[in-house]
Amino acid sequence: MTEYARRALVASPTPPAQAARAELADAWEWCPLDEADLVIALGGDGFMLQTLHTLLERRGPIVPVFGMNLGTVGFLMNEWRRHGLDERLRRAKAFKVAPLTMTATGADGRIHTLPAINEVSLLRETRQTAKLEVKVNDRIVLDELSCDGILVATPAGSTAYNLSANGPILPLASNLVTLTPISAFRPRRWRGAILPDRARVTLRVLDAGKRPVSAVADQREVREVAEVSIAVDRSRELTLLFDPDHALDDRITMEQFLA
């Protein structure tokens, strides 16, 4: 059993999330986010990602997050219920999620370093097919990939953009990442790869002047990149709390059986 003495309450700006926030505001004592040892997040998956990025970017320890769904899908959230929150927190199951770090070098030489919890994706900016060199650690594994783009996804993100691009679903504790092409043209038979999460993936844009490419870490975009390096950062692990009957690993497993 874990006790969380100092709790922060954050909510999406949507009307349902704000209404739920108003219901909880007077039910418990809340503290500012910077002083909390637990965050209650009200909203959908997009707001959960926003909250997790806020925690990654602030100084100090990264505290656990218990989300309640007031959005659409709510894959990363628990069911919204006002009552019984103390008991739910005592029984909650913790899951560790290690984010990716994207280091993108722009065509202008500027370097951008951004975290990603779901995935890092590279996408063509024009109608011209992107051409990419793909390197794993220090070895070139594809001299030239012609495609609309490519992404590296964590297990937590493998059921999101990665799945829609026909990438594999990864178990949460697998210590793997998936490298998934988006509409690959050449080599035609290449469908991606599953890599150990200690691997570093480097993607170099070929003919960047004619075929510009953008890089996106979750929702944050860097345009006209020349090279992007991606690796898991275990020094900044995030903790998500789930009700025992709605655990994230079970959700990821069951996604494989949905019609």
Domain boundaries, the chain: 7-98+237-257, 100-235
Beta strands in the chain (DSSP E): 7-11, 38-43, 65-69, 93-97, 100-106, 111-116, 119-124, 130-136, 139-147, 149-153, 176-182, 193-196, 201-205, 213-217, 220-222, 225-232, 238-242
Ligand-binding annotation for 45, yes or no, is yes
What letter does residue 255 receive in the DSSP assignment?
Answer: G
What span, in angstroms and rounded, lies between the C-alpha atoms of 33 and 35? 5
Catalytic, 45? Answer: yes
Ligand-binding annotation for 78, yes or no, is no
Ligand-binding annotation for 250, yes or no, is no
Spot the catalytic one: 26, 34, 37, 45.
45
Ligand-binding annotation for 46, yes or no, is yes
Identify the CATH assignment for 100-235 out of 2.60.15.10, 2.60.200.30, 3.30.70.3270, 2.60.40.420.
2.60.200.30
* Tens-binned pLDDT, residue by residue, of the chain (259 aa): 466 789 999 999 999 999 999 999 988 899 999 899 999 999 999 999 999 999 998 877 899 999 999 988 888 899 999 899 999 999 999 999 999 999 999 999 999 999 999 999 999 999 999 999 999 999 999 999 999 999 999 999 999 999 999 999 998 888 999 999 999 999 988 999 999 999 999 999 998 889 999 999 998 999 999 999 999 999 999 999 999 887 677 777 777 777 6
pTM of the model: 0.88
Identify the CATH assignment for 7-98+237-257 out of 3.40.50.300, 3.20.20.140, 1.10.730.10, 3.40.50.10330.
3.40.50.10330
